[in-house]
Chain A
Amino acid sequence: MSYLPKTPSRHRSRSETKTPLTPSLATGLNSLSTALPGQSSPTKFKADVSINPFLMSQPPARRATSRPVSPIKRTTSGAIQVSESLQRQANSGVVRKGGVESRLDVITRDYVPPKPEKRSKSQPTRDPRDRFITTRDTTDDVAATLDMMSLNPRSASPGHTARLAAAAGVPLNRRVLAYHEPPPASSSDPLLAQAREHVRPLYARPGALPTSTSTTTSKGRKIATLPERVLDAPGMVDDFYLNLVAWSSLNVLAVALAESTYLWRADTGEVLQMGEAPEGSYIASVDFSNDGQFLGVGVGTGAVELWDVETHTKLRTMAGHSSQVACLSWHQHTLTSGCGDGSIWHHDVRVARHKVGELMGHQGEVCGLKWRSDGELLASGGNDNVVNVWDGRVGDVASRTRSSARWTKRNHTAAVKAIAWCPWQPSLLASGGGTSDATVHIWNTTTGARLHSLVTPSQVTSIQWSPHRKEFMTTHGYPTNALMIHAYPSMERIVEIRDAHDSRVLWSALGPNGDVVCTGAGDENLKFWRLWEVPKAKKGKEVKESSRMGTGSTSSGILSIR
């Protein structure tokens, strides 16, 4: 009969035989059995009733006597003594397997209240297995259980307390103590953690990086991992903060070598020196206007010069900045300059009072600056690890007005030099951080949300989006000195060209056709990489268009040189 093993008396006797309890407990059980007139009789009696024991009427006195284990009813027993084995079980904080479950069963079943007469009559066919929960008397039994749970040795039965203690892992007659304060955090020394973070890229040897080969290409697409052309650029300054390479829509490459600016015509290979920086200074940045007719030059003294590309003459000098102008960006007639003191100025190159706007939003040097092609937004990155996006409308702003950024992002943990707007999805902006950050973040500039982040092995020095593919290119510094191409929404690495230069790759410029990228580095070389193909279907149209506009194709230009 399935009910029988659950009768209280059977279990009590079983546990007694299984685990030898202390004498006090044994006496407690003895007194318990004396209190029950004929302890074994109910068991026997019920065993005889083969169908349902609760159909049989029980004497009313039985109810009180059959629950002597209830802590409330027990008034005797002072401080308890627990057997050695139980104490040991209780002491080990980890609950023993195997024994625990059976002990738990003992506890719960021990407190099965006898079924009240009236209820057993009203529900005679109830499944006996859930009997003790469903037929429990309300207040008394709940109170008894709660009291038992409290592990109070005076009120609870000692054996149960010990077993409960063992089950819960709480030792009996013991205190579990912990020191009042939590252990110090692991990064308790912020300087040490910072130093560790700083040297992290230095430990990253090329061999230790995920791929062992210098080049990894994805399936199906072949990308030349050698430069198509290498130009010598003697005297090129190895300075992260400068922007010394620009490629115009007229297929002219401007390179600043120390204090002079050189133009290299990609279609003819002709090189000419355009101008020099003032005595004792150097050229910090170059940028072509959108039509390629004018070159803006930022000088170490803080002046911004305007040069005519056709005639190689300086048209004007726009002074005012207090320190070097390390980045420039054009939008139509507005030349925007980022200065070493963190200010960004809009210069209207047409008017005498050239300064038409000032943007204050960086605490450190401005090292990345890019207009969106439609001139609606301007993105800037600073040495203060901040990316700002500004409203591009400057026309009617008075010269003294200071505007604040449309939004500011502080996710980067190093200087933000690499800034690029996506040509085929105007709201996308990519920004890349320096050595201790080495992360590219892609932003939605409409909402200000960060869409993607990509951790790269080393500092990100520049980013170029491909106009023809959903891809972008990043250039990197020590230790990989690499060029990498990533797919856009998946952020998958398509190709990595390790050791593209002998030192960190600092600058990159995309050719007017969008297929060749020129990179410059501290190793005094300019290298041209054919990273993307101009799509064939589009090509005819584009060539036609470009010839109509009078611009030669980059590819044909390079191939025809010498």
Chain B
Amino acid sequence: MPLTKQAPTRQAITLKGSTNLVTEFFKFAANTILFQRGVYPADDFHMVKKYGQTVLVTQDLALENYLDKILKQVNTWLLTGSVTQLVLAIISKDSRTTLERWVFDVNLIEPPADSSEPAPAKPEAEIQAEIRNILKQIVSTVTFLPVIDQPTVFNILAYTSESADIPADEWVDTDPLAIEASKSQQVKLRSFSTDVHRIEAMVAYRYEG
């Protein structure tokens, strides 16, 4: 088939490439949330140019390493397709109640089995624009999310399949940290997709109005 038609500069995105893209997105999304929601003091963050905009990324080494360790495992899971959802929960430090849940659904896009020709590759610029839109949306959520005036901590949950390989002693089964249905509000955020993955974002927050 017309291989020449494909852009010679960039090949269609592979699973590995898409996984890296998604993992990287999680890193910046998590950093943005931690900064915007004030989980860590603003001084801990520095500006980095990414996706054609400035993103605030932590420079706290301990936190950086912690996120790296988590994202490394997420990356492995993404490669095997065993993670279906990632959740960043913001929890009150004192009362341990969940205040916000940032949910990222990970869906694998099944290539149509019968078509011999692969679907046209999505240009990276388009993917980046979608990611940029999500990050912008996360920033803009501070306008409607309730003000958090108490010290908070965060936790990252991974929803994996039953059969996923789980490094012993590193990942443990846990409570989903759900917010009671009667006290929660949800806002669906934008989504982005690569050729392999589709990430849908959603934020649920405690609101007892």
Q: How far is the CB of A350 from chain B (nearest CB, A)?
A: 58
Contact residues of B between 51 and 76, Cβ < 8 Å to A: 60-63, 66, 69-70, 73
Chain B's closest residue to A94 (CB) is: B204
Q: Which of B41, B151, B153, B175 contacts A183 (CB 8 A)?
A: B153
CA distance A173 to B61 in the complex (A): 36
In the bound complex, do residue B162 and residue A94 qualify as a contact, i.e. CB atoms below 8 Å apart? no
Q: How far is the CB of A201 from chain B (nearest CB, A)?
A: 16
Q: How far is the CB of A138 from chain B (nearest CB, A)?
A: 31
Q: Which A residues touch B151, using CB under 8 A? A: 186
In the bound complex, do residue A175 and residue B169 qualify as a contact, i.e. CB atoms below 8 Å apart? no
In the bound complex, do residue A176 and residue B176 qualify as a contact, i.e. CB atoms below 8 Å apart? yes
In the bound complex, do residue A174 and residue B157 qualify as a contact, i.e. CB atoms below 8 Å apart? no
In the bound complex, do residue A93 and residue B177 qualify as a contact, i.e. CB atoms below 8 Å apart? yes
Q: Which B residues touch A180, using CB under 8 A? A: 169-172
CA distance A187 to B39 in the complex (A): 11
Q: Which of A92, A170, A175 contacts B103 (CB 8 A)?
A: A92
Q: How far is the CB of A259 from chain B (nearest CB, A)?
A: 45
Chain B's closest residue to A193 (CB) is: B41
Q: Which B residues touch A170, using CB under 8 A? A: 176
In the bound complex, do residue B162 and residue A188 qualify as a contact, i.e. CB atoms below 8 Å apart? no
Chain A's closest residue to B38 (CB) is: A186
Q: Which B residues touch A95, using CB under 8 A? A: 178, 180-181, 184
Asked whether any CB of chain A lies closer than 8 Å to the CB of B36, the reply is no
In the bound complex, do residue A97 and residue B171 qualify as a contact, i.e. CB atoms below 8 Å apart? no
CA distance A246 to B84 in the complex (A): 75
Mark B31-56 against chain A: 1 for CB-CB distance below 8 A, else 0.
00000000111011000000000000
In the bound complex, do residue B44 and residue A94 qualify as a contact, i.e. CB atoms below 8 Å apart? no
In the bound complex, do residue B84 and residue A174 qualify as a contact, i.e. CB atoms below 8 Å apart? yes
In the bound complex, do residue B66 and residue A91 qualify as a contact, i.e. CB atoms below 8 Å apart? no
Q: For the A-B complex with A177-B158, A187-B41 known, give 19 more contacts whose Cβ atoms are closer than 8 Å.
A: A91-B105, A93-B85, A93-B87, A93-B159, A94-B101, A94-B184, A94-B204, A174-B161, A176-B157, A177-B159, A177-B171, A178-B155, A180-B171, A181-B66, A183-B156, A184-B62, A186-B40, A188-B60, A196-B41
In the bound complex, do residue B43 and residue A176 qualify as a contact, i.e. CB atoms below 8 Å apart? no
Q: How far is the CB of B92 from chain A (nearest CB, A)?
A: 14
Q: Which A residues touch B170, using CB under 8 A? A: 179-180
Mark A89-113 against chain B: 1 for CB-CB distance below 8 A, else 0.
0011111110010000000000000
In the bound complex, do residue B160 and residue A175 qualify as a contact, i.e. CB atoms below 8 Å apart? yes
Asked whether any CB of chain B lies closer than 8 Å to the CB of A364, the reply is no
In the bound complex, do residue B178 and residue A169 qualify as a contact, i.e. CB atoms below 8 Å apart? yes
In the bound complex, do residue A175 and residue B173 qualify as a contact, i.e. CB atoms below 8 Å apart? yes
